[in-house]
Amino acid sequence: MNNETLRGNLAQLKLVDILRILRHNKRTGKLSLQFKDRNADIYFLNGDIIHAKTNDSYGEQVLYDVLGFREGTFVFYPNISVKNPTISRPTNEIMDKAEFIDEDWEEISKIIPDFNVVFKMTSGSPKEISLNALEWNVLRHINGKDSVRDIAEKVELNMLDVCKVFVKLNSAGLIEVAGESIEEKPSVVSGVDPYIFAKISQRLAEIVGPLAEIIVDDTIKELGEDKFSFPKEKLPDLVDMLSKEVNDPQKLIDFQKDMLDLIKNV
């Protein structure tokens, strides 16, 4: 039995269940996963998970990221070892965490069934929401062209955390699905009409007072830009930094909502 090769479809048997089976049967070998153009390998030694890798990363986090594969194929090759294992945490702890993360992926997959999904900003009025720096960082890259995977690589965060941000932004009505990514020619970065900064200063002045225009000017300089060549892609960064000047929670929500409406119309 230990020499049998296991294979199947992830749509019929979830990865967390496969891990549980291999753990229970104390298997040694390599579990290979394939989903579209992505692949990953997870190594076992007597049922313990000792290594996980993709083409560009390795370690424990890889295991949690590939739990998001809800489709694709798997093959287990017995009696294959690895010279340099990268996972030292006890497998029972990994499995406990994997079970919890699998529940997250189950909810995420309802919105993001594929990491090649592309989102765009919505045209409607979003719900009241306060965004942190991480969420602004993701939001500023959403352009209707880059996929979830593309943006995860740009912000240099693991796929699970990035997908959670996408789900939150989608639930708040800030973004919507635009389709799947296609190869396009690089776009030219376009500047913002300087008049937009007068609107931002005016709205900020309603909260912090007459120093608002100076704060906006200083923040633009801090970003290494000027009003007459400010790239649209940096507007979310500007809003995120200006948001730190607003101490009242409700005023912060209102300010960010107004800024989102402003950004969508630029």
Check if the beta carbon of residue 34 is closer than 8 Å to that of residue 72: yes
Check whether 29 has a pLDDT greater than 60: yes
Average pLDDT over residues 62-84: 89
Residues sharing a CB contact under 8 Å with residue 261, sequence separation 6 or more, in sequence order: 125
Residues sharing a CB contact under 8 Å with residue 247, sequence separation 6 or more, in sequence order: none
Check whether 132 has a pLDDT greater than 90: no
Average pLDDT over residues 221-244: 84
Residue 172 included in any domain: yes
Evaluate the CA torsion angle 189, 193, 199, 200 in order and state its sign: positive
Query: Residues of the chain with pLDDT > 70: what percent?
Result: 91
**Do 51 and 23 fall within a single domain?**
yes
Please report the pLDDT score of residue 72 as a whole number.
Answer: 86
Residue 247 included in any domain: yes
Range(s) of the domain holding residue 21 = 6-105
**Do 203 and 236 fall within a single domain?**
yes
Residue 1 included in any domain: no
Check if the beta carbon of residue 89 is closer than 8 Å to that of residue 60: yes
Q: For the chain, what is the domain count?
A: 3
Mean pLDDT score across all residues of the chain: 85
**Do 131 and 219 fall within a single domain?**
no
Q: How many CB atoms lie within 10 A of CB 69?
A: 23
Residues sharing a CB contact under 8 Å with residue 150, sequence separation 6 or more, in sequence order: 141, 181
Average pLDDT over residues 96-101: 93
Please report the pLDDT score of residue 151 as a whole number.
Answer: 92
19 pLDDT band (50/70/90 cuts)?
Answer: very high
Please state the pTM of the whole predicted model: 0.62
Check whether 261 has a pLDDT greater than 80: no
Average pLDDT over residues 217-240: 84
**Do 15 and 74 fall within a single domain?**
yes
**Do 123 and 32 fall within a single domain?**
no
Average pLDDT over residues 112-137: 82
Average pLDDT over residues 117-135: 81
Residue 188 included in any domain: no
**Tokens representing 193?**
């009409």
Average pLDDT over residues 218-234: 83
Residue 29 included in any domain: yes
Tens digits of per-residue pLDDT, 136-194?
A: 889 888 988 899 989 988 888 888 899 999 999 998 888 888 876 544 444 444 567 77
* Domain final residue pick, 71, 105, 139: 105
Residue 161 included in any domain: yes
**Do 98 and 29 fall within a single domain?**
yes
Residue 230 included in any domain: yes
Residue 187 included in any domain: no
